[in-house]
Structure formats: C-alpha cells, structure tokens
Amino acid sequence: MTDTTAANAQGSLDGNVLFYSKPEPLSAEMHGALGVNPVDKPYAFVSSSHVVPMTVTEFAPASLSYPVVFLGENKMPVAVMGLRSGENLFVSAAGEFRADAYIPAYVRRYPFVFANDQAQQRLILCIDRAAPFITEGGQAPLFVDGKPSDYVNQAMDFCNNFEQERLRTESFVKLLNDLDLFEVKEAVFTPRDANGQPGQPQKLADYFAVSEEKLKTLSAEKLAELRDNGALGQIYAHLVSLLGWDRLVAMAFERARQNGEIAGNA
C-alpha cells in the first residue's frame, strides 16, 4: 500500500484532491443556476478508492468497520476499505455504501471542499463541478437571490468543522511522532488448503501503526497526560481497528466468489 492517496488527499485548487475531478471556487456568478438533486446511492465516487482519509475523532466509530492505519511520510490516518488499489469492498459501483459501515466525514463533505488561497491567506469553499448530482435547476439550489442557500451554509459549517478536525488530527500525528510511537507493520494473510493446512503467508500491505511495545514504555505521567487529553482513547481505537484486516480478507473472498473469480472455500 503506497502513500499516493495520502499525497493526493492534500490537494488544492488544481484538482488533485482525492475524489474531486473539477473543483471550482463557489460563486453566484458561476454557479447561481445550479442545484443538487437528491440521490439514493450517492457514493459511486468512492467505489474505486481502497483508502479514505480519516480525522482522529472518527477513529472510534470507524474502528468497528475498517482498519485505521497511517500512510506516507506525513503518516496520514486512513480507513482501509479494500485490499487492492481501485477496489472498495464497502461501496458498490452503483454508489451504495454498506448499511453497517461508518461513512467518513471526508466522504460526507463531498462535493464541497476548502482550498487554500495562499495569496489572500484564507480558505475558499469549492465545489466539484463534475459531481453528477449537481445540475442546472437542481432541487436544492446553491444560491437564492444571489446569496448562498441554506444548503450551502450547512456545507460551509460542515467544512469548517472538518478543517478544525483536520488540524486536530495533524496535532495528534505530531504528538505520536514526537513520542516515537510509530512502527512499520505488515498486514499478512495465510491461506489454507481444502484440508485446512496453512499455505505460504502473503503480505497485503505495509503501513505505520502505533507500537504497543513503545506505548508500554511511556512513563505513568505521560500516559496520564495522553489519557486526559483524549489521545490515549484514540490510540486504543486505532489498535483495535487493526483486527479488521481479517474482515477485509473475508469480504474480498466473498466478492471474488460472487464475481466467479474463485470457487469453494478460501
């Protein structure tokens, strides 16, 4: 598992933000006639991504669905939703999210996103003009009488909250780095034959995770500090989430059976 997605998820106005193929600064002049139509299955844009960025406050709810790991030089936290690039085991090609799976905020904010205006030192609300549910005369208008609609104002609030969580996540990762708590780990799958005998282990991914051994070496004072600022709970949620690799393997085999790629038991 490479850090390509981690790099692309940073992005700005040039269109290299994960999921956003045509982001444009939102304005009444350009988008005054546009609106959003309700869609029963709106998540097709996620179906070809096997990882999705996470914020730290999402670790606990996400841990019930996915492994939450850290990728790339910046150690960006992501939810792992598939075992191979281009395949998401939780989202169908039609855009339906599994009913029992947590939907990350990074996904829920789409088609809106903030971009940095470095010249003005401010954030600009952008919209992915390529989103298929944004159309001329859509049911929920983006602007009313030339002013942002309630729909857009709610999106602005969501993106503001997301930005605060993103900054909080950066601080959390810096804390883990400063405490030297990261280690490189491997997700490994051991296949079994028809008789249940184990075969050659197969590596699924390399990633960064918190080292339980390093965590144990922290002083009582430092552990109490992590407990009191909430970081310890997020660390444990991350560690518990790593049990989800087995679920991903089972889901991958089930999809392969459904697609006729394999037969019988894995």
pLDDT at position 266: 43
Angle between helices 150-178 and 231-241 (to 10 degrees): 90
Q: Are 44 and 95 in contact (CB under 8 A)?
A: yes
Residue 13, pLDDT > 70, answer no
Residue 194, pLDDT > 90, answer no
For residues 165-192, give the mean pLDDT. 92
pLDDT at position 62: 98
For residues 18-34, give the mean pLDDT. 94
Is the sign of the CA dihedral 230, 232, 236, 239 positive or negative?
positive
Say which residues have a Cβ less than 8 Å from residue 157's Cβ, sequence separation at least 6: none
What does the alpha-carbon distance between residue 69 and residue 176 come to, in Å, rounded to a whole number?
13
Residue 256, pLDDT > 90, answer no
Question: What percentage of residues in the chain have a pLDDT greater than 90?
Answer: 74
Strands 51-53 vs 140-141: parallel, antiparallel or unpaired: unpaired
Residue 4, pLDDT > 50, answer no
pLDDT at position 205: 87
Say which residues have a Cβ less than 8 Å from residue 129's Cβ, sequence separation at least 6: 22, 23, 24, 31
Record the pTM.
0.85
Say which residues have a Cβ less than 8 Å from residue 60's Cβ, sequence separation at least 6: 233, 234, 237
List, in sequence order, every residue forming a beta bridge with 206; answer none if it has no partner.
Answer: 186
Residue 5, pLDDT > 80, answer no
Mean pLDDT of the chain: 88
Is the sign of the CA dihedral 157, 71, 107, 56 positive or negative?
negative
What does the alpha-carbon distance between residue 59 and residue 67 come to, in Å, rounded to a whole number?
9
Report domain extents, the chain: 4-258
Q: Are 184 and 211 in contact (CB under 8 A)?
A: no
Lowest mean pLDDT among 9-13, 97-101, 110-114, 156-160: 9-13
Question: What percentage of residues in the chain have a pLDDT greater than 70?
Answer: 88
pLDDT at position 192: 62
pLDDT at position 191: 64
What does the alpha-carbon distance between residue 69 and residue 238 come to, in Å, rounded to a whole number?
7
Say which residues have a Cβ less than 8 Å from residue 250's Cβ, sequence separation at least 6: 266
For residues 73-85, give the mean pLDDT. 94
Compute and round to an integer the Cα radius of gyration of the chain: 21
pLDDT at position 15: 39
Task: pLDDT band for 117, please (50, 70, 90 cuts).
Answer: confident
For residues 229-234, give the mean pLDDT. 96
Residue 82, pLDDT > 90, answer yes
pLDDT at position 170: 97
Residue 235, pLDDT > 70, answer yes
DSSP 185-248: EEEEE--B-TTS-B---EEEEEEEEE-HHHHHTS-HHHHHHHHHTTHHHHHHHHHHHGGGHHHH
3-class DSSP state of 47: coil
Task: pLDDT band for 210, please (50, 70, 90 cuts).
Answer: very high
Lowest mean pLDDT among 108-117, 196-205, 215-224: 196-205
pLDDT at position 14: 41
Residue 81, pLDDT > 80, answer yes
Say which residues have a Cβ less than 8 Å from residue 57's Cβ, sequence separation at least 6: 165, 168, 234
Residue 126, pLDDT > 60, answer yes
